[in-house]
Amino acid sequence: KYLDWRVFGRNERLYIRQYEEETSLRVHLLVDSSSSMAYASKDLSKYQFACRCAACLAYIVIHRQDHAGLALFDNKCRMLLPPRSGAEHLRLLCNALADRSPSDKSSFSSALHQLAEKFSKRALVILFSDLFENTENLRSVLAHFRRKRHDVIVCQILDREELDFSFRDIGAFEDLESGEKIISNPKEIRAGYQIAVQNFLTDCRGICADLNVE
């Protein structure tokens, strides 16, 4: 059934037909729009930076004639655009990023598990988030996407102040998601804070390495 009989009819030589199938890449861009992503030590918030990254990748994907989709989530999925191509779809995707403002608490368990079930076709999933969530929940969600045979990339978005904690004056520190406030002297807690942050980052990297997630 693989012989090319037309070629045989012309020159009486046997040739096997070979096919090269081209399929479109599907990319799901998952952007964390919870309240913690609103933090900005300077002009650009973590959410705005994540949006720029997602928009740039969407442009590249669509420019290559592939399909890009978008999901904005906090404690649940707030907006979902299925992967499509074309300039009009890119415009809708960028407008959706621009129109959303971070709000509500983040919850990987309630939001991303639902998305993993929705994405029935194999795709590339790119997550933009500060990952401020229980690390075991992060492991569970990433494992869910991997079980569905998706390739996954995690882009952890953090502000420089969240890493260095270079504050100097005694003041109130507020949790953007819970509203809880504490009064503290940064000089007294900086060393312990930085150790805790590094442990958190190490845990996130370890989870990704275990699941073959970039």
Residue 177 confidence (pLDDT) above 90: no
Q: Mean pLDDT for the chain?
A: 92
Of the chain, the percentage scoring pLDDT greater than 90 comes to 73
Residue 22 confidence (pLDDT): 58
- First and final C-alpha spacing in the chain: 42
Arithmetic mean of pLDDT, 23-35: 93
Residue 141 has pLDDT above 60, yes or no: yes
Confidence label for 127 from pLDDT (cuts 50, 70 and 90): very high
What is the predicted pLDDT for the residue at 21? 54
Is 89 strand, coil or helix?
A: helix
Rounded Cα distance between 196 and 45, Å, is: 22
- Residue 179, pLDDT score: 82
Q: Which residue has the higher pLDDT, 117 or 178?
A: 117
Q: Residues 111-121: what's their mean pLDDT?
A: 94
pLDDT category, 14, cuts 50, 70, 90?
A: confident
Using H for helix, E for strand and C for coil, what is the string for 87-133?
A: HHHHHHHHHHHHHCCCCCCCCHHHHHHHHHHHCCCCCEEEEEECCCC
Q: Which position has the higher pLDDT, 84 or 23?
A: 84
Q: Is the pLDDT of residue 195 over 80?
A: yes
pLDDT band at 13 (very low <50, low <70, confident <90, very high): confident
Poorest-pLDDT segment among 16-20, 24-28, 151-155: 16-20
Residue in the structure block whose two tokens are 């940064």? 186
Q: What's the whole-number mean pLDDT along residues 169-185?
A: 87
